[in-house]
Amino acid sequence: MHDNVTGRPRLHPRLASLGLAGAVIGELMLAGRVTLDLAPGRDRLYVTARDAAGDPLAQSVLDHLVAEPHHPLITWLHFFARTIYADVTAVMIAAKLLNPPSRHLLKQQPATPVNTNTAAWPLARLNLAAERRTPPAVRDCVLIGLFVATGGAERALREHDPAFAAAAIAVLPAPLRRLIAQTEVAVGEAVISRR
């Protein structure tokens, strides 16, 4: 969602934040820490393991989910999107993946990648899979789905093929497909209401 050299966002910050909120929840799903109740009209996240294995950001998300388990997924996406951008940036700065934001001529400059190759690798993997028409790993299928949900696929993927993206999303388990669908709904709400 960001240029791998300048760190400049390719998406509006609100849309990027909703995508990041979806990504954090998706990581917790992939790690078996949360699951989604798929009963009609429910869309509730349930914590299956309360320990985030030393990840403070994931632990914070889990703690919120444990404290208030009755909210639907879309509410959580909007809630986490309020701060997730800054939270993820702080985690990446602490992990020495990003240089801190700086001020230049009275203008705030975004955090920049420490290593442009590391920053470019996830997008390169997605582009390579799309060009070769090879099924990506499950984690990358979630990433493709979130790219599509936020509108980032058209901006970031060299060869945006809706059929390839749909096939990548279709192989995901139902809870992850629902997460992507609800992220897309949240993005639509944000665009319509300009929040």
Comparing 76 with 195, the larger pLDDT belongs to: 76
Max mean pLDDT range (6-10, 21-25, 36-40): 21-25
Kindly report whether the global pTM for this prediction surpasses the value 0.85. Answer: yes
- Does 146 reside within a domain? yes
Look at the chain and report how many structural domains it folds into. Answer: 1
Distance CA 60, CA 62 (A): 5
Distance CA 183, CA 22 (A): 6
- Does 89 reside within a domain? yes
165: which residues sit within 8 A by CB, 6+ positions away?
144, 145, 147, 148, 153
pLDDT digits (tens, 9 = 90+) for 91-136: 999 999 999 988 777 777 888 889 999 988 988 888 888 888 888 8
pLDDT digits (tens, 9 = 90+) for 143-160: 999 999 998 887 767 766
| Residue 76 parent element (H or E) | helix 73-81
Distance CA 190, CA 59 (A): 26
Comparing 180 with 40, the larger pLDDT belongs to: 180
- Domain limits at 148? 13-193
Q: What is the mean pLDDT of residues 149-177?
A: 85
- Does 6 reside within a domain? no
- CATH code for the domain in which residue 153 is found: 1.10.3630.10
Q: Quickly state the pLDDT bin for 161 (edges 50, 70, 90).
A: confident
What's residue 48's pLDDT?
94
Q: Quickly state the pLDDT bin for 194 (edges 50, 70, 90).
A: low
Distance CA 154, CA 145 (A): 12
Q: For tokens 């997460």, what's the residue?
A: 179
What's residue 130's pLDDT?
85
- Does 110 reside within a domain? yes
- Does 143 reside within a domain? yes
- Does 7 reside within a domain? no
pLDDT digits (tens, 9 = 90+) for 53-103: 888 999 999 999 999 988 999 999 999 999 999 999 999 999 999 999 887
3-state SS assignment for residue 103: strand
